Chains A and B, each alone.
Chain A
Amino acid sequence: GNSVTQMEGPVTLSEEAFLTINCTYTATGYPSLFWYVQYPGEGLQLLLKATKADDKGSNKGFEATYRKETTSFHLEKGSVQVSDSAVYFCALRATGGGNKLTFGTGTQLKVEL
């Protein structure tokens, strides 16, 4: 079946540090890939997405590239801010089989001054 694997958290960084959160997936066909962010006390919000191989999704300084050869969709940001502290979820929606979204377990990011 389809699955998403994320790196374990929490990840603690100093402000302006470089961020990478790894995400790999298993799916048949050509899934669409997403990163969602959850701020404390809120629901999940879409951060970025990519719908085909080699697409790069970007938003708010975050980027992720759909790598089919390595089945990966790693999230990166060049300089994190305290306001980026949140939980980040990688997700996929596979082709066929309905519209089920499969999420990873989430990675908590803490950014300190």
Chain B
Amino acid sequence: DAGVIQSPRHEVTEMGQEVTLRCKPISGHNSLFWYRQTMMRGLELLIYFNNNVPIDDSGMPEDRFSAKMPNASFSTLKIQPSEPRDSAVYFCASSLGIQDTEAFFGQGTRLTVV
């Protein structure tokens, strides 16, 4: 398996534009997580899904952020409109959803909003 695949790897956009980050989890995994990493706040869980259903979105910063998982092999994180303070590295991770199994992380999307 190729692992968790995120796209794009880098994104530079202007303030006010819509940004969509994409994630393909490992085949067979039924839990998917979106994290944001910044120097100031470290690694923050934004939202996670079990079996394509959002379970906990309490980490989503505000209404400008939305996430979907239309099927078991694809998820998106959308920011609309984007702001400079959204600049960060966004990670997607997936796991088998069993307590003692590890989460596998993608390489991240580095987002810069100017």
A32 touching B100, Cβ below 8 Å:
yes
Question: Which residue from chain B places its CB closest to the CB of A101 in the assembled complex?
Answer: B103
Q: Report A-chain residues with C-beta under 8 Å of the C-beta of B4.
A: 43
A45 touching B55, Cβ below 8 Å:
no
A43 touching B42, Cβ below 8 Å:
no
Is A77 an interface position by the 8 A CB rule?
no
Given contacts A43-B108, A44-B91, A106-B42, contact A100 B102 (CB under 8 A): no
Interface size of A as a range: 20 to 34
Minimal beta-carbon separation of A68 from chain B (angstroms): 15
Question: Which residue from chain A places its CB closest to the CB of B30 in the assembled complex?
Answer: A99
Question: Which residue from chain A places its CB closest to the CB of B96 in the assembled complex?
Answer: A99
B100 touching A93, Cβ below 8 Å:
yes
- B4, B43, B48, B106 — which one has the most chain A CB atoms within 10 A of its CB? B43
Given contacts A99-B31, A99-B50, A101-B45, contact A43 B100 (CB under 8 A): no
Interface size of B as a range: 20 to 34
Q: Report B-chain residues with C-beta under 8 Å of the C-beta of A51.
A: 99-100
Interface residues of A in 21-61 (CB under 8 A from B): 31-32, 34, 42-46, 49, 51
Is A79 an interface position by the 8 A CB rule?
no
Besides the known contacts A44-B93, A98-B48, A99-B31, 20 further A-B residue pairs in the complex with CB atoms under 8 A apart: A42-B107, A42-B108, A43-B106, A43-B108, A49-B100, A51-B99, A89-B43, A93-B100, A98-B56, A99-B48, A99-B50, A99-B55, A99-B95, A100-B33, A101-B33, A101-B95, A103-B43, A103-B45, A105-B42, A106-B42
| Residues of A participating in the B interface, judged by any CB pair closer than 8 Å | 31-32, 34, 42-46, 49, 51, 89, 93, 95, 98-103, 105-106
| Residues of B participating in the A interface, judged by any CB pair closer than 8 Å | 4, 31, 33, 42-43, 45, 48, 50, 55-56, 91, 93, 95, 97-100, 102-108
